């Protein structure tokens, strides 16, 4: 076979790469994660009965802003890491800022609270089930995010998997806020973060296996 013929054979049947493939895949993953988690909260756990009332308070939107900031930061990082040779970017700063903000709020609340009430503030009424609920609600988003990543070409597999797990758990936490009655920053800083840490750690462990290409 002549060289020109060989090159022609290799070049035949080539289709252009969709420039918007990454955006499309992650749009589907984020939509699926948020919608399914919200449906699970509504059907299984139930929306808190006073949601219409608490939704008019700043503290409720501060509670939503915490996982929302983590979701935006994780989405920014994971979509960059889905491409080879790209750094995490500024999304990691948003993740750090969100955690720092909730911990600063935690310290303020605990310092100004009566000492005998501090443990009760941290534990709230639902500490036994909060982290587990968030972890379980993360499963649909976890599957969707890893599906999106499997169609891309990440090279930093553990970090990409961890950010994918954080993205899934942040979406689940946003949905969980519709059910959760806890309105104190120390509770979010402990149990919300613990619930999001489990899928994040799981993503870091599974990334090298599931995302290898």
Burial class (CB within 10 angstroms; exposed 0-12, middle 13-18, buried 19+) of 75:
buried
In a domain, 104, yes or no: yes
Assess if residue 23 is contained within a domain. Answer: no
84: Cα separation from own chain's centroid: 21
Is the residue at 90 inside a domain?
Answer: yes
What is the pLDDT, as a whole number, of residue 85?
84
Say what the pLDDT of residue 115 is: 94
Does the reported pTM lie above 0.95? no
Domain assignment of residue 32, yes or no: no
| Residue 11: band (very low, low, confident or very high) from pLDDT cuts 50, 70, 90 | low
pLDDT tens readout for residues 25-54: 999 999 999 999 999 999 999 999 999 999
Residue 27 counted as domain residue:
no
- Report the number of distinct structural domains present in the chain: 1
Residue 147 CB burial class (10 angstroms; 0-12, 13-18, ≥19): middle
pLDDT surpassing 80 at residue 120: yes
Q: Does residue 135 register a pLDDT over 90?
A: yes
Pair 125, 182: CB distance under 8 Å: yes
The answer to whether 107 touches 193, Cβ cutoff 8 Å, is no
Q: How far apart are CA 126 and CA 119, in angstroms?
A: 13
- Report CA torsion sign: 110, 114, 116, 117: negative
Mean pLDDT of 84-111: 95
Query: How far is 73 from 192, CA to CA, in rounded Å?
Result: 16
Answer whether residue 157 is part of any domain: yes
For 78, the domain range is 60-210
Assess if residue 67 is contained within a domain.
yes
Residue 97 lies in a domain: yes
pLDDT tens digits, one per residue of 20-33: 788 999 999 999 99
Render 77-134 in DSSP notation, one character per residue.
HHHHHTSTT---TTHHHHHHHHHHHHHHHHHHHHHHS-GGGHHHHHHTTTHHHHHHHH
Query: Tell me, what's the pLDDT at 201?
Result: 97
179 pLDDT higher than 80: yes
């Amino acid at each position: 076979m002549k060289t020109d013929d060989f090159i022609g054979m290799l070049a035949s049947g080539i289709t252009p790469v969709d420039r918007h493939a990454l955006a499309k895949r992650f749009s589907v993953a984020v939509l699926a994660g948020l919608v399914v988690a919200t449906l699970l909260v509504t059907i299984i756990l139930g929306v808190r009965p006073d949601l219409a009332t608490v939704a008019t308070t700043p503290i409720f939107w501060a509670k939503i802003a915490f996982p929302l900031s983590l979701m935006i930061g994780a989405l920014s990082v994971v979509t960059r890491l889905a491409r080879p040779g790209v750094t995490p970017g500024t999304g990691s700063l948003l993740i750090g800022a969100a955690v720092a903000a909730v911990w600063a709020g935690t310290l303020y609340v605990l310092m100004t609270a009566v000492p005998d009430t501090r443990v009760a503030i941290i534990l709230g009424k639902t500490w036994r089930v909060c982290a587990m609920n968030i972890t379980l609600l993360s499963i649909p988003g976890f599957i969707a995010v890893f599906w999106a990543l499997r169609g891309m070409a990440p090279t930093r597999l553990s970090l990409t998997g961890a950010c994918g797990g954080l993205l899934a758990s942040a979406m689940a936490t946003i949905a969980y806020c519709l059910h959760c009655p806890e309105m104190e920053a120390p509770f979010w800083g402990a149990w919300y973060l613990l619930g999001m840490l489990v899928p994040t750690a799981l993503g870091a462990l599974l990334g090298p296996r599931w995302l290898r290409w």
